[in-house]
Amino acid sequence: TLRILMYESLKESKHHDDLFRLLDLTRDTDDNPIFKSISEADSDFNYSSEMTLFKFFFSIIPLVTFAAYYDDFKKKSLMSDEELRSSFLQSFRVVLSSLINGTEISLRAGTPGQS
C-alpha cells in the first residue's frame, strides 16, 4: 500500500495527492484529534510552514520509505529483522535529535535564523 502511495504521488493521477494527506495530521482543525490534543496540552503550540516541511520530509517520508522498502532492503543487505530495525531506529534518532533536544525551536518560530 505504501509503495502504491509513493508511486501515485510521482505521477499525474487522481491519487497524486494521497501521500500528502498525511500532512492533514498537522493541520489546526476541529476534526484533527492529534493536533487538538497537543494544543490542549500546550496552548502556544503551532506548526510553522518550516516545521510542517521538516515533519513531512524528515519524519513522515523516511518512515514511509523504510516501511515500503523494508523487505527489499533486508534481502539486499542480508540483515536480520532485528539488525535492520535497530539500524534504522539509530539512524532515525540521529536525524531527529534536534527534536529530542528541543533545538527545533527555530522551525517553530517561522523565519529561519531568528529566535
Bigger pLDDT: 43 vs 60: 60
Number of domains in the chain: 1
- The pTM assigned to this predicted structure is 0.60
User: Domain range spanning residue 41?
Assistant: 2-109
For residue 31, being part of any structural domain is answered with yes
Closest CA to 74 of 86, 90, 64, 59: 86
Bigger pLDDT: 72 vs 29: 72
For residue 43, being part of any structural domain is answered with yes
How confident is residue 60, by pLDDT bands cut at 50, 70 and 90? confident
pLDDT in tens, 61-96: 888 899 889 999 999 999 999 999 999 998 888 777
For residue 114, being part of any structural domain is answered with no
Report whether pLDDT(112) > 60.
no
Are the C-beta atoms of 39 and 28 separated by less than 8 Å? Answer: yes
- The C-alpha cell 530495525 sits at 85
Are the C-beta atoms of 84 and 78 separated by less than 8 Å? Answer: no
How confident is residue 27, by pLDDT bands cut at 50, 70 and 90? low
For residue 71, being part of any structural domain is answered with yes
For residue 24, being part of any structural domain is answered with yes
For residue 115, being part of any structural domain is answered with no
